């Protein structure tokens, strides 16, 4: 989500935060989060994680074509990670392990919890999964992966509950606001 100011300069969420920090919009902005719409092409989990990794590293959001390329690369590494960790992962995958890994290598195959866990190991970064709530809390943490790689500034993804993931950015990641920390 990008916002334009009156000079038609495109603002990132951090630019908006800087402009609003001294205005009456500050309190409103503090409770916002930015969700980046990810195409639903079977790669949404991997695209969301790649997008989040770029944000976490302070890099600009990748273009759609680069995001797709990086997502496919991450998918391949995740499949390899399943194989490396076969004795630890085989028991929680549905069906035959070799068939599962072969299937997850296909670009249209959806990813879920097992793939998020492997993404955290491949990237050596924590990943937090959020879901929207109907209450005033806004977002709820539904899963955390890779806590052994740290707990600060995780990659954040938003799960919509019907098989789709978007990238998520919390503008005030250093502030532990109750609205996004409730579980």
Per-residue pLDDT reduced to its tens digit, 27-72: 333 446 788 899 989 999 999 999 999 999 989 888 999 999 999 9
76 domain residue, yes or no:
yes
92 domain residue, yes or no:
yes
5 domain residue, yes or no:
no
Is 41 considered catalytic here? yes
43 domain residue, yes or no:
yes
pLDDT at 35: 85
4 domain residue, yes or no:
no
As a whole number of angstroms, the distance between CA 91 and CA 106 comes to 21
pLDDT at 6: 27
11 domain residue, yes or no:
no
CATH of the domain at 45: 3.90.70.80
Give the chain's domain count. Answer: 1
pLDDT at 171: 67
The low-confidence residues of the chain, meaning pLDDT below 50, are 1-31, 172-183
As a whole number of angstroms, the distance between CA 36 and CA 166 comes to 6
pLDDT at 32: 64
Q: Which residue has the tokens 């009456």?
A: 24
| Domain housing 171 | 34-181
Residue tagged active-site, from 20, 30, 41, 121: 41
The two tokens of residue 62 are 């990748």
8 Å CB contact between 1 and 13 = yes
Q: Measured between alpha carbons, how far is residue 18 from residues 23, 107, 111, 126 in Å?
A: 10, 39, 36, 27
Residue tagged active-site, from 20, 44, 54, 119: 44
How much of the chain is in helix, strand and coil states, percent to nearest 5? 45, 15, 40
Residue tagged active-site, from 15, 72, 80, 164: 164
Is 44 considered catalytic here? yes
8 Å CB contact between 183 and 133 = no
What's the pTM?
A: 0.75
pLDDT at 137: 60
């Amino acid at each position: 989500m990008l916002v334009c100011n009156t000079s038609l300069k495109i603002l990132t969420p951090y630019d908006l935060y800087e402009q609003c920090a001294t205005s009456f919009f500050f309190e409103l902005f503090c409770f916002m989060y930015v969700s980046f719409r990810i195409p639903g092409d079977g790669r949404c989990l991997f695209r969301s994680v790649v997008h989040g990794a770029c944000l976490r590293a302070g890099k600009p959001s990748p273009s759609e074509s680069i995001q797709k390329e990086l997502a496919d690369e991450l998918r391949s590494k995740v499949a390899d990670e399943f194989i490396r960790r076969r004795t630890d992962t085989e028991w929680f995958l549905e069906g035959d392990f070799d068939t599962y890994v072969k299937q997850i290598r296909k670009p249209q195959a959806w990813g879920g919890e097992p793939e998020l866990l492997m993404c955290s190991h491949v990237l050596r970064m924590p990943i937090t999964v959020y879901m929207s709530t109907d209450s005033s809390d806004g977002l709820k943490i539904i899963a955390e992966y890779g806590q052994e790689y740290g707990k600060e500034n995780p990659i954040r993804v938003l799960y919509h509950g019907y098989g789709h993931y978007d990238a998520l950015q919390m503008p005030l990641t250093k502030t532990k606001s109750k609205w996004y920390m409730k579980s």
